[in-house]
Amino acid sequence: MKHLRAMFLAPSVFFTVVLFLIPLTIIVSYSLRTRGVYGGVVDPWTIENYARLFDPLYGMIMVRSVFMSLAATALCLLAGFPTALFIVRNEKHKSLLLNLIMLPFWTSFLVRTYAWMFLLRDTGLINSALIAMGIIKEPLPLLYNETAVIVGLVYGYLPFAVLPIFSNLERLDKALLEAAADLGAKPWETMFHVVLPLCAPGLRAAGVLVFIPCLGAYLTPDLLGGGKSIMIGNLIQNQFTTARDWPFGSAISLALMAGVMVLLIVLIRRDGEEAL
Amino acid sequence: MAVIFGKGNLLGMATALELKALVKQFPTARVVDGISLDIPKGCFYSLLGPSGCGKTTILRMIAGFSEPDEGDIILNGRRLNGLRPYERPVTTVFQSYALFPHLTAYENVAFGLRRRGETNFDKKVRDSLAMVGLAEKAERFPANLSGGEKQRTALARALVLEPELLLLDEPLSALDPALRKRVRLELKQIQQRIGITFVFISHDQEEALSLSDRIAVMNKGKIEQIGTPREIYLQPATRFVAGFLGAVNWIGPVGVRPEWTRIGRTAPGDVDSVAATVETAVFLGDSVHVHAKTADGSVITAQVHDSAVDYEHGEQVRLWWDKSDELRVSQ
């Protein structure tokens, strides 16, 4: 019995240690050393990299990342809630609609982000169409700005918002909606006083599931933001590539992880582990 | 054939709810098949029947969760058809109670008053909770209330709105048997005190008999019989009603309830009796159920209210009863 249990546990222990703990240890050790001239790390050991996190230059990027992620999360919740509600209420096509929500995952995220570039650029679909219709003369600056990044983030992570809200709404006892109507609540009052409060755990889970990947996003701001370091993800990437500052890149990564962990702990404290 | 006893109103009171030739067609069945009822004001009225008889569908149509395909629902002279649930002066105690889990007992009771835009509702809410004995538990959330307390909160929540009609959808079925009897008594007392018309849905004949002023027994979307509890128990119109309200021994077309069936090793000389062989005697504490087989193979049960009585398997006995206790049903 004991051997069998060990045998079944072995693969997951192996993967956790090799693929998670060891790289993490390397990152931690990198973050505490000094940058090499051509990348890599050299002695001596130092905490200088963490001190630099408080440099206003980087602080700006972090604050902007947080605000952009919050904006994307809010938009995902605003769009995700009605979508989930529509799917839950559509008894006949529920599974079809859910599959449609998942459909984008069947293609590469990179390809889909490029598709947004084709939509948003000066000669893209939207601008061409608006010019052709005579609504505008000059193309609108739709691409390579923060709005484009937020649009891309919302597009990319909307399914992560829909699914937890959907499962929360699905579990909602329909008798509660009838009880509310029975007690004189008009549909919008039932929505506001019964459905939304009872959907709070789903909305919080959705919020965290969208906010976390948004905060660490790198591809979307890189492609739609025009190559500037506008979010933490790009900042980290730059440290490992052009800036050749692996220790500082590691320190930022760990700071990001720490922030995310705090967020998750707060959520689990509140909603229990099912929240995730 | 449905036979209606006591046509007209109970105690000469005005009609509160009138159902006129109500029909509801589901894809596979006509679940409500031409139901007409007059429910007097202040009456404790039960719709009694097995699951699938259409009673819940009727309740949902009265509440407004479902619309009838044909027929009218008239409450105190006003036609309710087409009104949304929140527009009807009717409230419901749900089978699952459907208490809002994110609100305290107090806020659950205040819910409907807030929707009406009332602001000075504190006394109403407190009085309502006190009426059901929950004054002390006002600040508790449903998760921290017992089954009986949840049921009473649901009752307070529905009654605080002073509805013209209260619907109760098997509100006792989720309670354990001992509690059910106590709550049953309380429910009856509350109804008598406030005088609101109750329409009670049940598949439990004991519950309906003990609570109701009037019972409509339903089967397969139709009414089998309407009457007072005594009428439908003592003078069932149909075989279905007789059997649904209690055990019956059928001796040809004649039915006799086990509690009216006498048993003895010999019968008194002056009565007609039936010879039978004891199959088994089941001891139930306050009574003994003796199952005995007659010559034609049918099994008759006699309920003997004497704990000392006992019979062996295979014993020869006589069974008899008063002619006046025979149930004469139409079919």
Q: In a structure prediction context, what are the per-residue pLDDT tens digits for chain A, which is 276 residues long?
A: 678 888 888 888 888 888 889 999 999 999 998 888 777 777 788 888 888 888 888 888 888 899 999 999 999 999 999 999 999 998 899 999 999 988 888 888 888 888 888 888 888 888 888 888 888 888 888 888 888 899 999 999 999 999 999 999 999 999 999 999 999 999 999 999 999 999 999 999 999 999 999 998 888 888 888 866 578 888 898 888 888 888 999 999 999 999 889 988 888 888 775 555
End-to-end CA distance of chain B: 8
Interchain CB contacts (distance < 8 Å): A and B? 59
Q: Which amino acid is at B79?
A: R
- Please report which helix (H) or strand (E) contains residue B167, including its range: strand B165-169
Residues constituting chain B = 331
User: Which of B65, B92, B115 has its CB closest to that of A185?
Assistant: B115
Tell me which chain A residue has its CA closest to the CA of residue B99.
Answer: A176
d(CA B20, CA B23): 9
Q: Which of B90, B98, B116 sits opposite A175 (nearest CB)?
A: B98
Task: State whether B86 and A179 contact (CB < 8 Å).
Answer: no
- Written as one string, the DSSP assignment of B202-217 is ES-HHHHHHH-SEEEE
Q: Do B96 and A182 touch (CB under 8 A)?
A: no
- Compute CA distances B131 → A102, B159, B160, B188, whole Å: 52, 10, 10, 13
Task: For residue A23, count other CB atoms closer than 10 A to its CB.
Answer: 10
- Could you tell me the strand order of the sheet in which B44-48 lies? B3-4, B222-227, B214-219, B44-48, B197-202, B165-169, B90-93
Name the H helices within chain A.
Answer: 2-16, 22-31, 48-51, 56-89, 94-102, 109-120, 125-132, 146-171, 174-182, 187-190, 196-198, 200-215, 219-224, 232-240, 246-271
Q: Give B158's pLDDT tier (boundaries 50, 70, 90).
A: very high
pLDDT-based confidence at B331, cuts 50/70/90?
low
**Cis omega (within 30 of 0) on the bond before A44?**
yes
Phi, psi dihedrals of residue B38, rounded to the nearest 5°: -120, 120
Q: How far A169 CA sits from the closest chain B CA (Å)? A: 14
Mean pLDDT (chain B) is: 90
**Cα dist. A139→A123, A135, A147, A164, B37 in Å?**
7, 10, 16, 38, 71
State the angle between helix axes of B122-131 and B105-115 in degrees (0 to 180), rounded to the nearest 10.
130
Q: Is A175 on the interface with B (CB under 8 A)?
A: yes
Number of neighbours of residue A11 by Cβ within 10 angstroms: 9
Chain-chain contact of B115 with A198 (C-beta, under 8 angstroms): no
Q: What is the mean pLDDT of residues B320-325?
A: 88
| Residue B9 clears pLDDT 80, i.e. is over it | no
> Residue B310 is encoded by which pair of tokens?
């006992």
Whether A188 and chain B come into contact, CB under 8 Å, resolves to no
Give which of B102, B116, B159 to mutate to test A binding, by max A Cβ within 10 Å: B102
| Coil vs helix vs strand at A90 | coil
Gap between the Cα atoms of A200 and A197, Å rounded: 5
Is B270 in a helix, a strand, or coil? coil
Indicate the SS3 state at residue B319: strand
Q: Which domains does chain B have, with CATH numbers?
A: 3-240 (3.40.50.300), 258-328 (2.40.50.140)
Nearest CA-CA partner of B22 in B59, B52, B48, B49: B59
**How far apart are the CA of B106 and the nearest CA of chain A, in angstroms?**
14
Q: How far is residue B148's CA from residue B114's CA, in Å, rounded to a whole number? A: 25
CB atoms within 10 A of CB A259: 16
SS3 state at B275: strand
A198 and chain B: CB distance < 8 Å anywhere? yes
Contacts of A175 in chain B (CB under 8 A): 94, 96, 98
CATH architecture for the domain at A56-275: Orthogonal Bundle (1.10)
Q: Do B86 and A178 touch (CB under 8 A)?
A: no
**Full-model pTM:** 0.81
Q: What is the 8-class DSSP label of residue B68?
A: -
State how far the Cα of B147 lies from the Cα of B149, in Å rounded to an integer. 5
Nearest by CB: B65 against A178, A189, A193: A178
> Which chain A residue lies closest to B116 (C-alpha atoms)?
A184
A98 touches chain B (CB under 8 A): no
Looking at the partner chain, which of B63, B86, B98 has a beta carbon nearest the beta carbon of A184? B86
